[in-house]
């Protein structure tokens, strides 16, 4: 079984990770909260697919992300 890049999601809290995800061709979920590396404003500027504030939001974000595909 092969894993398709379209089935992969990169989850991180740095602006540079958004660029890495884009270069790899994966979807990107950014985490932005008081413990994240980057501010929410900087993450918005980097334009990830979705921004979440807490990992408890991850299941809903994944569902939304793959419904968009």
Q: Which three-class secondary structure state does DSSP give residue 11? A: strand
Mean pLDDT across the chain, nearest whole number? 92
Alpha-carbon distance of 56 to 66, in angstroms, equals 17
C-alpha 37/C-alpha 46 separation (Å) is: 13
| pLDDT beyond 90 at 6 | no
Residue 68: band (very low, low, confident or very high) from pLDDT cuts 50, 70, 90: low
pLDDT tens digits along 15-24: 999 999 999 9
């Amino acid at each position: 079984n092969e894993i398709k890049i379209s089935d992969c999601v990169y989850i991180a809290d740095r602006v540079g990770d958004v660029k890495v995800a884009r270069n790899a061709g994966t979807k990107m979920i950014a985490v932005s909260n008081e413990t994240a590396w980057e501010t929410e404003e900087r993450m918005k500027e980097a334009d990830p697919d979705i921004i979440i504030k807490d990992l408890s939001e991850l299941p809903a974000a994944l569902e939304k992300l793959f419904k968009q595909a």
